[in-house]
Amino acid sequence: MKRKFLLCQLLLIYILLPFQAIASNTPFSNIFVFGDSLSDNGNINSLSLPDLSFLNSPPFNHGFTNGPFAVEVLANNLNRDQNLHLTVNPSLHLVNRLPVGTNYAVAGARAGATGNPLFNLSSQVNTFLGSHSNSAPNDALYIIFIGSNDVLDALQTSDRRLITTAVEAIDNSLRELVYAGAESILVVNVSDLGLTPRVRALGTAVVKQATRLTNDFNSQLVRYVHKIEKERQIDIVDFDFFQLSHTVSENSVGLGYINTTEACLFNTNCVAQGKFDDFIYLDDIHPTADAQQRIGHALYTIVPELPE
Protein backbone atom coordinates (compact mmCIF):
# COMPACT_ATOMS: atom_id res chain seq x y z
CA MET A 1 0.00 0.00 0.00
CA LYS A 2 1.48 3.34 -1.08
CA ARG A 3 0.96 6.93 0.03
CA LYS A 4 -1.96 6.03 2.22
CA PHE A 5 -2.65 8.96 4.50
CA LEU A 6 -1.45 12.51 4.05
CA LEU A 7 1.05 13.78 6.57
CA CYS A 8 -0.55 16.72 8.33
CA GLN A 9 2.48 18.97 7.89
CA LEU A 10 2.73 18.39 4.14
CA LEU A 11 -1.01 18.73 3.74
CA LEU A 12 -1.03 22.05 5.57
CA ILE A 13 1.76 23.40 3.36
CA TYR A 14 -0.18 22.43 0.27
CA ILE A 15 -3.54 23.87 1.28
CA LEU A 16 -1.84 27.09 2.32
CA LEU A 17 -0.47 27.28 -1.23
CA PRO A 18 -3.48 26.01 -3.17
CA PHE A 19 -2.19 26.75 -6.66
CA GLN A 20 1.10 24.90 -6.29
CA ALA A 21 1.66 22.33 -9.04
CA ILE A 22 3.16 18.91 -8.50
CA ALA A 23 4.82 16.60 -10.95
CA SER A 24 2.67 13.75 -12.20
CA ASN A 25 3.00 11.13 -14.90
CA THR A 26 -0.55 9.83 -14.80
CA PRO A 27 -2.27 10.14 -18.18
CA PHE A 28 -5.77 9.08 -17.17
CA SER A 29 -8.30 8.61 -19.94
CA ASN A 30 -11.24 9.54 -17.71
CA ILE A 31 -12.28 10.25 -14.13
CA PHE A 32 -15.33 8.37 -12.89
CA VAL A 33 -16.92 9.63 -9.68
CA PHE A 34 -19.36 7.86 -7.36
CA GLY A 35 -20.70 9.69 -4.35
CA ASP A 36 -23.19 12.09 -2.79
CA SER A 37 -23.86 15.84 -2.51
CA LEU A 38 -20.18 16.56 -1.86
CA SER A 39 -19.56 15.72 -5.54
CA ASP A 40 -22.94 15.93 -7.32
CA ASN A 41 -22.66 18.75 -9.85
CA GLY A 42 -25.98 18.23 -11.61
CA ASN A 43 -27.54 14.80 -11.24
CA ILE A 44 -30.05 15.53 -8.49
CA ASN A 45 -30.78 18.87 -10.17
CA SER A 46 -31.65 17.07 -13.42
CA LEU A 47 -34.80 15.72 -11.74
CA SER A 48 -36.19 19.27 -11.44
CA LEU A 49 -37.60 18.56 -7.99
CA PRO A 50 -39.59 21.57 -6.71
CA ASP A 51 -37.97 21.39 -3.27
CA LEU A 52 -34.53 21.70 -4.88
CA SER A 53 -35.29 24.48 -7.36
CA PHE A 54 -33.00 26.76 -5.32
CA LEU A 55 -30.00 24.88 -6.75
CA ASN A 56 -30.49 26.87 -9.96
CA SER A 57 -30.17 30.23 -8.21
CA PRO A 58 -27.08 31.98 -6.80
CA PRO A 59 -25.07 31.28 -4.81
CA PHE A 60 -25.66 27.63 -5.75
CA ASN A 61 -24.07 26.17 -8.87
CA HIS A 62 -26.52 23.35 -9.74
CA GLY A 63 -25.34 21.50 -6.64
CA PHE A 64 -24.76 21.99 -2.93
CA THR A 65 -21.90 24.47 -3.15
CA ASN A 66 -21.30 27.88 -4.68
CA GLY A 67 -18.64 26.93 -7.22
CA PRO A 68 -16.60 23.98 -8.50
CA PHE A 69 -16.59 20.74 -6.52
CA ALA A 70 -13.42 19.07 -5.26
CA VAL A 71 -13.52 16.43 -7.99
CA GLU A 72 -13.72 19.19 -10.60
CA VAL A 73 -10.77 20.97 -9.02
CA LEU A 74 -8.83 17.70 -9.12
CA ALA A 75 -9.61 17.27 -12.82
CA ASN A 76 -8.56 20.85 -13.56
CA ASN A 77 -5.26 20.31 -11.77
CA LEU A 78 -4.56 17.16 -13.77
CA ASN A 79 -5.47 18.96 -16.99
CA ARG A 80 -3.11 21.83 -16.21
CA ASP A 81 -0.31 19.50 -15.16
CA GLN A 82 -0.57 17.12 -18.10
CA ASN A 83 -2.24 19.19 -20.82
CA LEU A 84 -5.25 16.89 -20.73
CA HIS A 85 -8.94 17.54 -21.23
CA LEU A 86 -10.51 15.54 -18.43
CA THR A 87 -14.02 16.46 -17.31
CA VAL A 88 -16.29 15.28 -14.52
CA ASN A 89 -19.59 16.40 -15.98
CA PRO A 90 -22.76 14.94 -14.44
CA SER A 91 -23.76 11.60 -15.91
CA LEU A 92 -27.45 12.59 -15.88
CA HIS A 93 -28.17 8.88 -15.59
CA LEU A 94 -31.31 9.57 -13.56
CA VAL A 95 -33.04 11.10 -16.59
CA ASN A 96 -31.21 9.57 -19.58
CA ARG A 97 -31.11 5.98 -20.72
CA LEU A 98 -27.38 6.29 -21.33
CA PRO A 99 -25.04 8.41 -19.16
CA VAL A 100 -23.63 11.52 -20.82
CA GLY A 101 -20.93 12.36 -18.26
CA THR A 102 -18.56 10.58 -15.89
CA ASN A 103 -19.78 11.91 -12.53
CA TYR A 104 -22.44 9.54 -11.14
CA ALA A 105 -22.64 11.14 -7.69
CA VAL A 106 -26.15 11.96 -6.48
CA ALA A 107 -27.02 14.27 -3.60
CA GLY A 108 -28.66 12.31 -0.81
CA ALA A 109 -27.01 9.05 -1.84
CA ARG A 110 -26.03 6.48 0.74
CA ALA A 111 -23.60 3.62 0.49
CA GLY A 112 -25.95 1.40 2.48
CA ALA A 113 -29.58 0.43 2.05
CA THR A 114 -31.22 3.53 3.52
CA GLY A 115 -32.28 6.36 1.25
CA ASN A 116 -33.46 6.21 -2.35
CA PRO A 117 -32.13 3.00 -3.98
CA LEU A 118 -31.93 4.77 -7.35
CA PHE A 119 -29.48 7.27 -5.89
CA ASN A 120 -27.27 4.99 -3.82
CA LEU A 121 -23.75 3.78 -4.50
CA SER A 122 -24.63 0.34 -5.85
CA SER A 123 -27.02 1.88 -8.37
CA GLN A 124 -24.38 4.38 -9.48
CA VAL A 125 -21.75 1.69 -10.00
CA ASN A 126 -24.17 -0.71 -11.69
CA THR A 127 -25.32 2.03 -14.05
CA PHE A 128 -21.71 2.81 -14.93
CA LEU A 129 -20.84 -0.83 -15.54
CA GLY A 130 -24.03 -1.40 -17.52
CA SER A 131 -23.14 1.44 -19.87
CA HIS A 132 -19.58 0.12 -20.31
CA SER A 133 -20.36 -3.53 -21.11
CA ASN A 134 -19.45 -4.49 -17.53
CA SER A 135 -15.89 -3.37 -18.13
CA ALA A 136 -14.02 -0.67 -16.19
CA PRO A 137 -11.24 0.86 -18.33
CA ASN A 138 -7.93 0.25 -16.58
CA ASP A 139 -6.51 3.61 -17.67
CA ALA A 140 -9.19 5.64 -15.87
CA LEU A 141 -9.24 7.07 -12.35
CA TYR A 142 -12.10 5.94 -10.10
CA ILE A 143 -13.17 7.98 -7.08
CA ILE A 144 -15.51 6.74 -4.36
CA PHE A 145 -16.49 9.67 -2.16
CA ILE A 146 -19.45 8.66 0.00
CA GLY A 147 -20.53 7.85 3.54
CA SER A 148 -21.56 11.09 5.23
CA ASN A 149 -25.28 10.41 4.88
CA ASP A 150 -24.84 6.91 6.27
CA VAL A 151 -23.08 8.28 9.34
CA LEU A 152 -25.78 10.93 9.79
CA ASP A 153 -28.44 8.21 9.55
CA ALA A 154 -26.65 6.21 12.24
CA LEU A 155 -26.47 9.33 14.40
CA GLN A 156 -30.14 10.13 13.98
CA THR A 157 -31.39 6.59 14.59
CA SER A 158 -28.75 5.54 17.16
CA ASP A 159 -28.24 2.43 15.02
CA ARG A 160 -24.52 1.69 14.63
CA ARG A 161 -25.34 -1.26 12.38
CA LEU A 162 -25.92 1.25 9.58
CA ILE A 163 -22.20 1.99 9.67
CA THR A 164 -21.22 -1.62 9.02
CA THR A 165 -23.90 -1.99 6.35
CA ALA A 166 -22.60 1.09 4.56
CA VAL A 167 -18.96 0.01 4.65
CA GLU A 168 -19.88 -3.46 3.41
CA ALA A 169 -21.73 -1.83 0.51
CA ILE A 170 -18.64 0.21 -0.37
CA ASP A 171 -16.62 -3.00 -0.25
CA ASN A 172 -19.06 -4.65 -2.67
CA SER A 173 -18.92 -1.73 -5.10
CA LEU A 174 -15.13 -1.57 -4.91
CA ARG A 175 -14.93 -5.25 -5.72
CA GLU A 176 -17.27 -4.84 -8.68
CA LEU A 177 -15.04 -2.12 -10.10
CA VAL A 178 -11.84 -4.06 -9.46
CA TYR A 179 -13.24 -7.27 -10.95
CA ALA A 180 -14.32 -5.24 -14.01
CA GLY A 181 -10.78 -3.96 -14.53
CA ALA A 182 -10.36 -0.78 -12.47
CA GLU A 183 -6.76 -0.34 -11.30
CA SER A 184 -6.43 3.30 -10.17
CA ILE A 185 -8.86 3.91 -7.31
CA LEU A 186 -9.12 6.74 -4.81
CA VAL A 187 -11.36 6.20 -1.77
CA VAL A 188 -12.29 9.21 0.36
CA ASN A 189 -13.35 8.62 3.95
CA VAL A 190 -15.81 10.78 5.93
CA SER A 191 -14.87 14.15 7.41
CA ASP A 192 -15.56 14.71 11.10
CA LEU A 193 -19.29 15.39 11.09
CA GLY A 194 -18.97 16.64 14.65
CA LEU A 195 -17.44 19.80 13.18
CA THR A 196 -20.45 20.67 11.01
CA PRO A 197 -22.90 23.42 11.99
CA ARG A 198 -25.80 20.95 11.82
CA VAL A 199 -24.32 18.69 14.47
CA ARG A 200 -22.83 21.49 16.58
CA ALA A 201 -26.33 22.92 16.99
CA LEU A 202 -27.41 19.71 18.74
CA GLY A 203 -25.00 20.07 21.65
CA THR A 204 -21.75 18.65 22.96
CA ALA A 205 -22.99 15.11 23.55
CA VAL A 206 -24.22 14.77 19.97
CA VAL A 207 -21.00 16.27 18.63
CA LYS A 208 -18.97 13.63 20.47
CA GLN A 209 -21.23 10.85 19.24
CA ALA A 210 -20.98 12.11 15.65
CA THR A 211 -17.20 12.06 15.87
CA ARG A 212 -17.24 8.54 17.33
CA LEU A 213 -19.51 7.27 14.56
CA THR A 214 -17.37 8.94 11.91
CA ASN A 215 -14.27 7.29 13.35
CA ASP A 216 -16.07 3.95 13.44
CA PHE A 217 -17.01 4.28 9.77
CA ASN A 218 -13.50 5.28 8.73
CA SER A 219 -11.82 2.52 10.75
CA GLN A 220 -14.04 -0.14 9.21
CA LEU A 221 -13.57 1.33 5.74
CA VAL A 222 -9.79 1.16 5.84
CA ARG A 223 -9.90 -2.46 7.03
CA TYR A 224 -12.09 -3.46 4.10
CA VAL A 225 -9.89 -1.56 1.65
CA HIS A 226 -6.78 -3.27 3.00
CA LYS A 227 -8.46 -6.64 2.59
CA ILE A 228 -9.26 -5.99 -1.06
CA GLU A 229 -5.71 -4.81 -1.69
CA LYS A 230 -4.25 -7.95 -0.16
CA GLU A 231 -6.60 -10.27 -2.03
CA ARG A 232 -6.26 -8.58 -5.42
CA GLN A 233 -2.63 -7.40 -5.11
CA ILE A 234 -3.51 -3.82 -6.01
CA ASP A 235 -3.00 -0.42 -4.39
CA ILE A 236 -6.07 1.60 -3.48
CA VAL A 237 -5.29 5.12 -2.28
CA ASP A 238 -7.11 6.33 0.83
CA PHE A 239 -7.72 10.03 1.26
CA ASP A 240 -8.09 11.00 4.91
CA PHE A 241 -10.88 13.57 4.72
CA PHE A 242 -11.35 13.27 8.49
CA GLN A 243 -7.82 14.53 9.12
CA LEU A 244 -8.20 17.24 6.49
CA SER A 245 -11.34 18.57 8.19
CA HIS A 246 -9.40 18.92 11.45
CA THR A 247 -6.34 20.41 9.76
CA VAL A 248 -8.46 23.10 8.12
CA SER A 249 -10.44 23.81 11.30
CA GLU A 250 -7.34 24.03 13.49
CA ASN A 251 -5.51 26.30 11.03
CA SER A 252 -8.51 28.34 9.94
CA VAL A 253 -6.94 31.75 10.61
CA GLY A 254 -3.93 31.04 8.42
CA LEU A 255 -6.25 29.77 5.71
CA GLY A 256 -8.30 32.95 5.77
CA TYR A 257 -11.46 31.60 7.38
CA ILE A 258 -13.20 33.93 9.80
CA ASN A 259 -16.05 31.58 10.71
CA THR A 260 -15.63 27.82 11.06
CA THR A 261 -18.75 26.97 13.06
CA GLU A 262 -21.67 28.63 11.29
CA ALA A 263 -23.31 28.21 7.90
CA CYS A 264 -22.75 31.14 5.56
CA LEU A 265 -26.34 31.02 4.31
CA PHE A 266 -27.62 31.40 7.86
CA ASN A 267 -25.40 34.43 8.49
CA THR A 268 -26.85 37.74 7.30
CA ASN A 269 -23.49 39.42 6.78
CA CYS A 270 -22.08 36.52 4.78
CA VAL A 271 -24.94 36.49 2.30
CA ALA A 272 -25.43 40.24 2.04
CA GLN A 273 -21.74 40.96 1.54
CA GLY A 274 -20.90 37.83 -0.46
CA LYS A 275 -18.31 36.75 2.10
CA PHE A 276 -18.54 33.08 1.16
CA ASP A 277 -14.78 32.51 1.24
CA ASP A 278 -14.70 33.57 4.90
CA PHE A 279 -16.70 30.45 5.81
CA ILE A 280 -15.92 26.74 5.65
CA TYR A 281 -19.59 25.77 5.40
CA LEU A 282 -22.07 27.11 2.88
CA ASP A 283 -25.07 25.60 4.64
CA ASP A 284 -25.20 23.50 7.79
CA ILE A 285 -23.40 20.50 6.26
CA HIS A 286 -21.86 21.35 2.85
CA PRO A 287 -18.52 23.11 2.24
CA THR A 288 -18.20 26.42 0.44
CA ALA A 289 -16.49 26.55 -2.94
CA ASP A 290 -13.32 27.78 -1.25
CA ALA A 291 -13.29 24.74 1.04
CA GLN A 292 -14.11 22.47 -1.92
CA GLN A 293 -11.13 23.94 -3.74
CA ARG A 294 -8.82 23.05 -0.87
CA ILE A 295 -10.23 19.52 -0.77
CA GLY A 296 -9.64 19.19 -4.51
CA HIS A 297 -6.05 20.41 -4.27
CA ALA A 298 -5.43 17.99 -1.41
CA LEU A 299 -6.87 15.12 -3.47
CA TYR A 300 -4.43 16.06 -6.20
CA THR A 301 -1.45 15.51 -3.90
CA ILE A 302 -2.20 11.80 -3.56
CA VAL A 303 -3.90 10.93 -6.83
CA PRO A 304 -2.83 7.37 -7.70
CA GLU A 305 -0.70 6.64 -10.72
CA LEU A 306 -1.53 4.10 -13.38
CA PRO A 307 0.10 0.74 -12.67
CA GLU A 308 3.08 -0.01 -14.87
Report field, pTM of the whole predicted structure over 0.85: yes
What's the whole-number mean pLDDT along residues 55-81?
A: 94
For the stretch 11-65, pLDDT in tens is 555 555 544 444 456 689 999 999 999 999 999 999 999 999 999 999 998 999 9
Confidence of residue 83 (pLDDT cuts 50, 70, 90): confident
Categorize the per-residue pLDDT at 106 as very low, low, confident or very high, splitting at 50, 70 and 90.
very high
pLDDT in tens, 124-178: 999 999 999 999 999 999 999 999 999 999 999 999 999 999 999 999 999 999 9
Task: Report CA-CA distances (Å) from 251 to 8, 12, 13, 111, 244.
Answer: 11, 8, 11, 31, 10
CB 41 within 8 A of CB 103: yes
Mean pLDDT of 240-246: 96
Q: Residue 304: which pLDDT band, with cuts at 50, 70 and 90?
A: confident
pLDDT of 217 above 50: yes
DSSP string, 108-138: T--SSSSS-TTTSHHHHHHHHHHTTTT---T
**What CATH architecture applies to the domain 8-14+27-260+288-301?**
3-Layer(aba) Sandwich (3.40)
Q: pLDDT class for 82, splitting at 50, 70, 90?
A: confident
- Cα–Cα dist 23/82, whole Å: 9
The ranges assigned to domains in the chain are: 8-14+27-260+288-301
84: how many CB neighbours lie within 10 A of its CB?
16
